[in-house]
């Protein structure tokens, strides 16, 4: 049995905290291992071999959307023995071993003990059933320690692949810290394999231009249809990319965190409201965090295996992500850059 376990929620204002450069462990970098326990051991993939060889670069390249050649499809698999459940999300390869996605794709709400068994990753072809797809499996995942599922604050996570992707999968270039490649009034490009919405069930990667309404710091990249129509990404595409343009090339600007509430039609289908808004967690706010986590985990892979709890700190003091004192601390650090943190102003979509 296959089902989608949870829907995308409306994104709340992000409570971003700077990371500790050169941190020796995940807790010092505002991160924790949110992956599955080491109970699942998969056999080595045959993707680099019988299904894919390095001599097929030209053939392989034909299957990739040139604007999203680093885009991957994620399936979080919950193995219950006699049946399985799956949750669908998107992601972006940022190196041969790392994929960035939304934290709510891989980490459930507080007191929810359910845990996926593995994450199945599909890369390399714009068609999920194409002949050049490259499968990978991962159990090592790192979430931001300040992630709050109820309001989707700090909604970002990194997946470390058990096997590297081949060189022909070109990693995305990331926005630099505090230098987003999108701006209000501009156009950005998003993509996904729709699970819900007007193109539900599509097996071919869909790309769509979106109008940028706001780029908040810390906060979200808010986008909508340029024409005011029913256009955009939807539930099941969380964690997928939005890209901007800087320095003559495309850059990953954000990962999908949420959609506007009240987008359902009379049949209950989501993303059917003209001009609905989408919210992306900005890479430019978390670039240092991404770099810190990758360095720690590549140096000490055991540090990043699923095993523990989260600890979130600002300026060296442990704080709960929903604590009012955290908002005061962030305001003192970011000044006018800080956007007020008021969870009561935001509601999830479910």
CB atoms < 10 A from the CB of 52, how many?
21
* In a shared domain, residues 64 and 191: no
Answer whether residue 4 is part of any domain. Answer: no
Domain finish residue from 231, 254, 284 = 284
Helix (H, G, I), strand (E, B) or coil at 336: helix
Give the CATH number, domain containing residue 205: 2.40.10.10
- Which has the minimum average pLDDT: 17-31, 201-215, 289-303? 17-31
Confidence class of residue 39 from pLDDT cuts 50, 70 and 90? low
Helix (H, G, I), strand (E, B) or coil at 31: strand
Residue (of 175, 170, 137) closest to 156 by Cα position: 175
Answer whether residue 10 is part of any domain. Answer: no
Q: Which residue has the tokens 């450069």?
A: 21
Confidence class of residue 3 from pLDDT cuts 50, 70 and 90? very low
* In a shared domain, residues 75 and 166: yes
pLDDT value at 239 more than 70: yes
- Which has the minimum average pLDDT: 65-74, 116-125, 205-214, 225-234? 65-74
pLDDT for the residue 331: 44
Whether the link from the prior residue into 44 is cis, omega within 30° of 0, is no
pLDDT for the residue 23: 55
pLDDT value at 324 more than 50: no
Confidence class of residue 288 from pLDDT cuts 50, 70 and 90? very high
* In a shared domain, residues 147 and 210: no
pLDDT for the residue 310: 52
* In a shared domain, residues 278 and 293: no
> Is 186:205 a contact under the CB 8 Å cutoff?
no
253-264, pLDDT tens digit by residue? 999 999 999 999
Please tell me which residue, 112 or 237, carries the higher pLDDT value.
237
Domain finish residue from 230, 252, 284 = 284
* In a shared domain, residues 50 and 116: yes
* In a shared domain, residues 300 and 152: yes
Answer whether residue 309 is part of any domain. Answer: no
What is the number of structural domains in the chain? 2
Answer whether residue 205 is part of any domain. Answer: yes
H helix and E strand count, the chain: 3, 16
Answer whether residue 335 is part of any domain. Answer: no
* In a shared domain, residues 236 and 123: no
161-178, pLDDT tens digit by residue? 989 998 888 899 999 999
Answer whether residue 334 is part of any domain. Answer: no
pLDDT for the residue 160: 95
* In a shared domain, residues 275 and 297: no
DSSP, res 93: E
Answer whether residue 333 is part of any domain. Answer: no
Q: Which residue has the tokens 């459930």?
A: 108
Mean residue pLDDT across the chain: 76
* In a shared domain, residues 138 and 75: yes
* pTM of the entire predicted model: 0.80
Domain finish residue from 237, 252, 284 = 284
pLDDT for the residue 194: 86
* In a shared domain, residues 67 and 163: yes
Distance CA 122, CA 138 (A): 11
49-75, pLDDT tens digit by residue? 323 333 344 344 445 566 788 999 999
Answer whether residue 203 is part of any domain. Answer: yes
* In a shared domain, residues 91 and 166: yes
* In a shared domain, residues 137 and 58: yes
* Domain encompassing residue 144: 27-172+285-304
Helices (H), the chain: 57-62, 283-299, 324-334
Longest Cα separation, the chain = 57
Confidence class of residue 294 from pLDDT cuts 50, 70 and 90? very high
pLDDT value at 185 more than 90: yes
Segment 69-85 mean pLDDT: 88
């Amino acid at each position: 049995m296959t089902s989608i376990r949870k829907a995308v929620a409306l994104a709340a204002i992000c409570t971003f905290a700077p990371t500790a450069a050169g941190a020796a462990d995940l807790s010092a970098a505002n991160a924790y291992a949110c992956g599955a326990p080491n109970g699942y051991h998969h056999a080595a993939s045959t993707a680099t071999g019988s299904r894919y060889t390095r001599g097929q670069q030209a053939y392989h390249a034909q299957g990739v959307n040139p604007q999203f050649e680093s885009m991957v499809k994620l399936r979080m698999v919950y193995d219950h023995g006699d049946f399985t459940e799956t949750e669908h999300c998107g992601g972006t390869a940022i190196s041969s071993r790392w994929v960035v996605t939304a934290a709510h794709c891989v980490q459930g709400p507080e007191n929810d003990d359910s845990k996926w068994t593995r994450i199945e990753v599909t890369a390399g072809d714009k068609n999920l059933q194409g002949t050049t797809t490259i499968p990978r499996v991962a159990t090592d995942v790192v979430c931001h320690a300040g992630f709050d599922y109820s309001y989707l604050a700090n909604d970002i996570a990194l997946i470390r692949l058990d096997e590297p992707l081949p060189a022909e999968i070109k990693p995305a270039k990331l926005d630099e810290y505090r230098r987003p490649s999108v701006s209000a009034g501009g156009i950005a490009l998003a993509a996904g394999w729709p699970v819900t919405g007007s193109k539900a069930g599509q097996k071919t990667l869909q790309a769509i231009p979106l109008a940028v309404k706001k780029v908040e710091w810390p906060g979200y990249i808010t986008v909508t249809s340029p024409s005011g129509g029913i256009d955009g990404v939807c539930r099941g595409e969380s964690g997928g990319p939005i890209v901007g343009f800087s320095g003559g090339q495309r850059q990953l600007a954000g990962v999908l965190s949420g959609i506007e509430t009240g987008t359902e039609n009379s049949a209950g289908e989501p993303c059917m409201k003209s001009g609905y808004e989408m919210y992306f967690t900005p890479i430019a706010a978390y670039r240092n965090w991404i770099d810190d986590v990758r360095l720690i985990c590549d140096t000490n892979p055991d540090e990043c295996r699923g095993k523990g709890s989260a600890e979130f700190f600002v300026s060296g003091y442990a704080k709960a992500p929903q604590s009012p004192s955290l908002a005061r601390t962030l305001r003192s650090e970011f000044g006018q850059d800080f956007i007020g943190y008021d969870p009561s102003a935001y509601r999830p979509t479910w």
